[in-house]
Amino acid sequence: MNFFDVINIPFTSKVMGRILGIDFGKKRTGLSTTDPLKLIVSGLETVNTSELDDFIKNYVETEDVEKLVFGKPTHKDGNPTYIWNDIQRRADLYQKQFPFLKIDYEDENFTSVDAHQILLQTVSKKKRRDKKIVDKLSAVLILQKYLGHI
């Protein structure tokens, strides 16, 4: 009996790929990732958006990534926000650069608000001011929501 039998997941010889969550912003982008079995979501990094393409390229080339999930920002009425076109352009770029990757989107409504609430309850006032933490936590919440964890 092996680990996969114990947790009741069929084992295949192909390594399962990670999912990368992306909370895209004009200045900074928060990133999260799953473990290869897609059971756990962890904050990965917050990068300057100007450095995002290099980060994604390096990460995809060094890790087994199967999917990118972008947060989809919408207004309360359901219409996309001003940044939606930038997100679609980025997704198209990554799809051309990495045709084996699947691209998907998850509604990101209230993830920043939820991230702020979580930080209020868990970290010091000084750390709450660090917008990089909020961006990374928002990416975690987007990916958890996508996976149905919340």
Q: Which helix (H) or strand (E) holds 45?
A: strand 41-48
25, 139 contact by CB (below 8 A): no
Tokens of 31: 């990133």
Domain-wise residue ranges, the chain = 11-147
pLDDT the model gives residue 137: 82
pLDDT tens by residue, the chain, 150 residues = 444 454 555 444 345 799 999 999 999 999 999 999 999 999 999 999 999 999 999 999 999 999 999 999 888 888 888 999 999 999 999 999 999 999 999 988 766 666 656 655 666 566 556 677 777 888 988 998 899 864
Q: Could you name the CATH architecture of 11-147? A: 2-Layer Sandwich (3.30)
pLDDT of residue 119: 56
Q: What is the pLDDT of residue 56?
A: 97
Please report which helix (H) or strand (E) contains residue 65, including its range.
strand 65-72
Q: What is the pLDDT of residue 134?
A: 76
Query: What pLDDT does residue 135 have?
Result: 79
Global pTM reads 0.79
What's the rounded Cα separation, in Å, for the pair 29 and 149?
22
